[in-house]
Amino acid sequence: MQPSIVITTIQALTDPIRKFSVLLPEWPIILVGDRKTPTITSNDHLCYLSIEDQKKLGFSLADQLPLDHYVRKNLGYLYSLKEYNGSVYDTDDDNTPYDDWSFPVFRQERIDTISGAAQYNVYRSFTDENIWPRGFPLSRLAMQESVNVEAGSQHVGVWQGLADLDPDVDAIHRLVFNQKITFEKRAPFVLQQGCYCPFNSQNTLWDREMLAYAYLPASVSFRYTDILRGYIAQRCLWEHGRKLGFTRATVFQDRNSHDLMKDFESEIPVYLHTERVMKLLDDVTLRDDWAFNLVTIYRKLRAVGVVQESELKLLSAWIKDIEPYM
């Protein structure tokens, strides 16, 4: 059971990827390409999966996922389970690890647990700046919800690390504030059942037992796919006695070039649907069964128009491909 790193890119090998290769030589890097990706040479530490390579992996999802789309990363998760069967570090090609990069262990004997709010802006636990994570409901930004903090034993299913300099915020924040942020090095914590906060695919460590929930939906926009995935995973973790944890910034981001207005357009479903998705997740009846949970949630999301009918076919392929390893 060897941990690995999964990244998708349309660029040549970036300096952040090289830094990970040097800093974490025991962690194989799985680099998932797309049609625009220049040819990258694999080596003993890095496995580059071109479109042609992806089709040879034996996964039914490979021929069904759209091209030129971030969700090709799903094949990296599957390949990681097949080859290494360990936890997965989920990141992007523009996140550079600090020299002291590390994450807490998944089993915590004593850690602060936050409860008492339906939504908690975790960024405010690491800075006094006016900032919120991408996917946080805009209608809740001005709310001053009191929370409870209690230390205890917790089993974490997913750790979300922060990113300094250009953290994961929405286009509205970038258009209005356009500021660099360096978070304070504060202690990690977890969110109790019933308390949500969006998490992304940029600096995230998954326990291998929870990797079925890493599925990135393809019928939503690029700026929504990992956010929707995160809310779904967060709800499902609770059925397995797991929690979502947040830890200090372990990387800094020198963000790839973005058209902020295009980002804004891509994020409109995030602004419009997040609270409706939370309500759906709170009302749904789930159990300690990852396949049942995924199918149940995505069918309900389809019924309310959050995802398209094509998503159910892709999800079925994901379940078929990942089931042998879960």
pLDDT digits (tens, 9 = 90+) for 3-30: 999 999 999 999 999 999 999 999 999 9
> Residue 255's pLDDT is what?
77
The CATH code for residues 2-325 is 3.90.550
- For 2, 23, 29, 41, 306, the CA distances from 44, given in Å and listed in that order, are 15, 15, 10, 10, 41
In sequence order, what are the residues at sequence separation of 6 or more whose Cβ sits closer than 8 angstroms to the Cβ of residue 176? Answer: none
Average pLDDT over residues 213-220: 98
Two tokens, residue 258: 């973005």
CA atoms of 248 and 184, how far apart (whole Å): 7
Q: With bands split at pLDDT 50, 70 and 90, how would you rate the model's confidence at 142?
A: confident
- Determine the residue type at 198: P
Query: Roughly what angle, to the nearest 10 degrees, separates helices 225-239 and 290-303?
Result: 130
CA atoms of 230 and 267, how far apart (whole Å): 15
CA atoms of 196 and 120, how far apart (whole Å): 6
> Residue 254's pLDDT is what?
84
Q: Where are the domains of the chain?
A: 2-325
Q: Strand, helix or coil at 274?
A: helix
- Give the rounded percent of residues in the chain with a pLDDT score beyond 70: 100
Query: What's the half-sphere exposure (Cβ side, CA atoms, 13 Å) at 243?
Result: 24
> Residue 320's pLDDT is what?
98
Total number of residues shown for the chain:
326
Query: Roughly what angle, to the nearest 10 degrees, separates helices 290-303 and 309-322?
Result: 170
Query: What's the half-sphere exposure (Cβ side, CA atoms, 13 Å) at 224?
Result: 21
How remote is the C-alpha of 190 from its chain's centroid? 16
Predicted model pTM: 0.96
> Residue 283's pLDDT is what?
97
- Residue 240, pLDDT > 90, answer yes
Backbone angles phi, psi at 96, to 5 degrees: -95, 125
Average pLDDT over residues 125-140: 95
